[in-house]
Chains A and B, each alone.
Chain A
Amino acid sequence: MSERARRIAENEVLFRTVNERIDNLNERFGEPAEAVQMVCECGRSDCVERIELDPDTYRRLREDPFRFAVKPGHEYPASETVVDQADGYLVVEKKPGEPREAVEDADPEL
């Protein structure tokens, strides 16, 4: 597996972990009725962008471990396919093969 594929996947998994914690905090401290600020789940380690998703949309996204929400322009067409787009973010799905294997390697939950 290439180091680049692994690096992208590790960053995406790390950002997803942050969003999972934000979602847990929202549940614990009181569910917000509106969209909440999450972090962009792209593969760049220096990304500091925020995206807004409502809680239901966020949880639907999490049903597929190979999908991530990223800011437009932060997708990697070589390893990801844009499967949905909304106001302020895209949903990308990792392509089969190396990109998915890299996510499986990086995510302790998979």
Chain B
Amino acid sequence: MDALISLRIRLHELLSTQMSENGHISIERKTRNEAIFRDANEEIAKVREQLTVVDGRTPFLCECEDPTCREIVRATIEDYEKVREYPSRFLLAHGHTWAQGRVVEKKQDYLVVEKTGEAARIAHETDPRTPADV
């Protein structure tokens, strides 16, 4: 039964992949990919915050638009938290691409990109730290 449910979820995700008229993946789909990477990093940050003696930079996943990306970027937990203060900001490995936005900070290991326009709206909507409207 679990396998059937997983298959249905996957099928739904595939069908909901939105393509523009010229066949490119839409800004919405790209931004939702980036938000999925952000969710993964939030889980890593949660574990990291519970650790007491580990130091140095934490390995996070690149939050670019490419769903096949598994690049690691390293950031201190303090720098990571600074990025997360802004729902429209994402950490990306150098040379990786993003949907709609501009670079607001360059670090040795990564870029911080701030979303604009439609991408910013979706980034806010999917931000796990932003309380949902009631």
Instruction: Say if the beta carbon of A95 comes within 8 Å of chain B.
Output: no
Which chain A residues border B5 with CB–CB below 8 Å?
none
Kindly state the separation between the CA atoms of A7 and B36 in the bound complex, as whole angstroms.
29
Instruction: Say if the beta carbon of B47 comes within 8 Å of chain A.
Output: yes
Interface centre among A10, A11, A21, A48 (most CB of B within 10 A): A21
A39 touches B67 (CB 8 A): no
A13 touches B36 (CB 8 A): no
Kindly state the separation between the CA atoms of A42 and B37 in the bound complex, as whole angstroms.
23
Return B63 CB to nearest CB of chain A, in Å.
Answer: 11
Instruction: Say if the beta carbon of A85 comes within 8 Å of chain B.
Output: no
Which chain A residues border B23 with CB–CB below 8 Å?
none
Count of chain B residues near A, Cβ 8 A? 28
Count of chain A residues near B, Cβ 8 A? 28
Please tell me which one of the listed residues B50, B54, B61 contacts residue A22 in the complex, with CB atoms under 8 A apart.
Answer: B61
Which chain A residues border B61 with CB–CB below 8 Å?
18, 21-22, 25
Interface residues of A in 1-24 (CB under 8 A from B): 3, 6-7, 10-11, 13-15, 17-18, 20-22, 24
Which chain A residues border B13 with CB–CB below 8 Å?
28
A29 touches B51 (CB 8 A): no
Return A35 CB to nearest CB of chain B, in Å.
Answer: 12
A-side interface mostly = helix
Which chain A residues border B44 with CB–CB below 8 Å?
14, 17-18, 21
Return B127 CB to nearest CB of chain A, in Å.
Answer: 18
A17 touches B47 (CB 8 A): yes
Kindly state the separation between the CA atoms of A15 and B59 in the bound complex, as whole angstroms.
8
B36 touches A25 (CB 8 A): yes
Instruction: Report the nearest A residue to B72, measured CB to CB.
Output: A39
10 A–B contacts, CB within 8 A, in A order: A6-B53, A13-B51, A14-B54, A17-B44, A25-B67, A29-B36, A39-B59, A39-B72, A45-B56, A48-B72
